A and B are shown apart, each in its own frame.
Chain A
Amino acid sequence: MERPLTKNIRPDGKPLFIKEYESLGGYQSVKKALKMQPKEITELVKKSNLKGRGGAGFNTGLKWSFVPMEGQFEHKYLVANGDEMEPGTFKDRLLIEGDPHQLIEGMIVTACAIQADEGYIFIRGEYTEAAEIVKKALAEAYEAGYLGKNILKSGFNFNLHLHTSVGRYICGEETALLNSLEGKRANPRAKPPFPQVSGLFGQPTIVNNIETLCNIPHIINNGAEWFNGLSLTPGDGGTKIFGASGKVKRPGLWELPFGVTLRELLEEHAGGMRDGLKFKGCLPGGASTDFLVEQHLDIRMDYASVAAAGSRLGTGTMIVLDDKTCPVGMVLNLEHFFAQESCGFCTPCREGLPWTEKILQKIENGKGEMKDLDLLQFHTKFMGPGNTFCALAPGAMAPLQSALKYFREDFELHIKEHKCSWK
């Protein structure tokens, strides 16, 4: 099985720098891309069926194709979204820290495709080691002539900068991230206009997730057909970095084809549950995805199959709930996070999430009433898709609505017994 994204990552996680990276075939795709027409690159990526790995799963080449290629612009921007703050997600850290040049290479090729002249790698402030590694890798790439003016004497210019952020989950939302890069509060922007047309400083901009960008060199080097062939699911190209956390025997990350089953991930890769514990459910792709439970263990991990089961593939890193951890406590923890991280711009999210948290706290403390469950249900509708300015609140409602569906008797037990029986 091929593992293009992680094949160069050392078992000890120590970063790979330029000499070694080049000796393993690094930067070949840049040489190739500089000789291609921008549209050719975009077409190739579109055909590869690479979909955004940040959670939304939109076709990457299609996203690029919305960048205007005619007309004059002061700048065009490319931004790598490394604001990895979705609870339970830890895959981009591995890619940045383990193989920083793979990311830079992917960004140069992407810049060729959309003809961007300026780029930023946006990394969350807590990733201090990743930032140091990227800083060093960027200096090496400039030194080797892969970045800056007249890259490899092609006439193409691309400057790439590191931006370290200062907190807040909402920065991961692409328009909020752009506001943050402009030095402002990270409130999301209204769409349209989409960033591809009017993004950073009002210029055409592409924001792509780190893992998405890391796939680009491999698509250029090996072609769309090869990339589609990596996956077990037609229509979802490539591999995915899947992961598991919680009380499994071997929590971790694994690069696997799309279409492996949830059971395979859980039992073979994560080693199953720790002794004495039973699998109760999992959030398959981070905190803002719906719970899947035992009946779903044989579904395939790809965008369509997980959606058909009522959840989202999200970031592909699952959080596993065991039978000895209180599901109400877990959902309370999640809603506390979302309430805290609401940017406060739109009313349903700003007011509704703390309200939800308060109700859950009341139930967890044994003071809940049956009608509170109806109120929670009400919130899941009113903060659902289409009722808020961005996707934060609908994301917050995903684990809540599915917990009310699958673990309703556990909520009722708290109310009937006036306490949390897991404590």
Chain B
Amino acid sequence: MLTAEEIHEIQEEFHLYPYKQAACIEALKVVQNHRRWVSDENVKDLAALLEMSVEEIDSVATFYNLIYRQPVGKYVILLCDSVSCYIMGFEAVLAHLEKSLGIKYGETTKDGRFTMLPVPCLGTCDHAPAMMVGKDLFRDLTPEKIDEILNKYE
């Protein structure tokens, strides 16, 4: 069941579009903001609310890489794996993250703190390599800086 708060927030989005189905992505974002990810049950509930089929909603949800259809940790690490970060050595950063966290791409730490995913170019190429932790951007990464950054997140 979607909460009253979620439904209210989704309905607020309806005003921005000529019909409510157009708020599909916004609705998925609302649910994810509250729950970190979007479950099968949430997709069904959204379908009823937006008067769309479950399949339609899921086809949108699974298209976009920043909508999570599987549980994720408290903080999602998005590590840039695009070309400037490749030249500047993101692979060493990745190796260090894997070692420090004991996880690979797509996995979540046992304590549920972090999920690690690759992401295309973060648009901060003059300070490569770069990554995001939750909403925060970190640049000019070195393996040494990683542990210091991770320690900030409880």
Contact = CB atoms under 8 A, between A and B. Distances in A.
B124 A166 contact: no
A96 B83 CA distance: 23
Given A166-B67, A330-B83, A183 B126 contact: no
Interface in B88-140: 88, 119-128, 132, 135-137
B86 interface: yes
6 contacts: A166-B28, A168-B65, A246-B88, A319-B83, A337-B82, A341-B120
B83 A337 contact: yes
A126 B21 contact: no
A68 interface: no
Interface in A155-210: 161, 164-169, 180-186, 201
Contacts of A317: 125
Given A168-B65, A186-B63, 13 more contacts: A87-B84, A88-B125, A93-B124, A125-B66, A128-B132, A166-B28, A166-B29, A166-B67, A245-B84, A247-B87, A319-B87, A337-B83, A341-B120
Given A90-B126, A161-B16, A168-B65, A246 B60 contact: no
Contacts of B23: 183
B60 A184 contact: yes
B126 A253 contact: yes
A321 B63 contact: no
B16 A183 contact: no
Given A319-B83, A319-B84, A334-B83, A166 B64 contact: yes
Contacts of B81: 333, 336-337
Most chain A CB within 10 A, of B17, B65, B125, B128, is at B125
Interface string A309-336: 0000000010111100100011001101
Contacts of B3: none
A337 B67 CA distance: 19
A126 B122 CA distance: 7
A395 to B, nearest CB: 13
Contact of A89 (B17, B64, B125): B125
A341 B120 CA distance: 9
Nearest to A338: B120
Contacts of B121: 85-89, 287, 337
B82 A167 contact: no
B149 interface: no
Contacts of B65: 166-168
A283 B136 CA distance: 29
Given A167-B66, A168-B63, A88 B124 contact: no
A251 B123 contact: no
B87 A325 contact: yes
B141 interface: no
A168 B120 CA distance: 8
Interface residues of A, number: 57
Contacts of B22: 181-183, 201
Interface string A124-140: 11111100000000000
A255 B26 CA distance: 35
Interface string A68-85: 000000110000000011
Interface of A: 74-75, 84-90, 92-93, 124-129, 161, 164-169, 180-186, 201, 243-247, 251-253, 283, 287, 317, 319-322, 325, 329-330, 333-334, 336-337, 340-341, 343
A287 B84 CA distance: 10
Interface in B1-57: 16-18, 21-26, 28-29
A336 B90 CA distance: 15
Contacts of B17: 182-183, 201
Contacts of B122: 126
A337 B135 contact: no
Contacts of A320: 87
B120 A85 contact: yes
B59 interface: yes
B120 A169 contact: yes
B83 to A, nearest CB: 5
Contacts of B119: 126, 167
A246 B87 contact: yes
Given A125-B66, A183-B24, A333-B83, A84 B123 contact: yes
Contact of B123 (A89, A182, A337): A89
Contacts of B136: 128
A129 B132 CA distance: 12
A253 B127 CA distance: 11
B77 interface: no
Contacts of B16: 161
A87 to B, nearest CB: 4
B78 interface: yes
Contacts of B28: 166
A251 B17 CA distance: 41
Contact of A319 (B18, B24, B64, B125): B125
A209 to B, nearest CB: 13
Given A246-B87, A330-B83, A166 B66 contact: yes
Given A126-B123, A201-B22, A340-B120, A247 B86 contact: no
B93 to A, nearest CB: 15
B64 A201 contact: no
B124 to A, nearest CB: 6
A309 B142 CA distance: 37
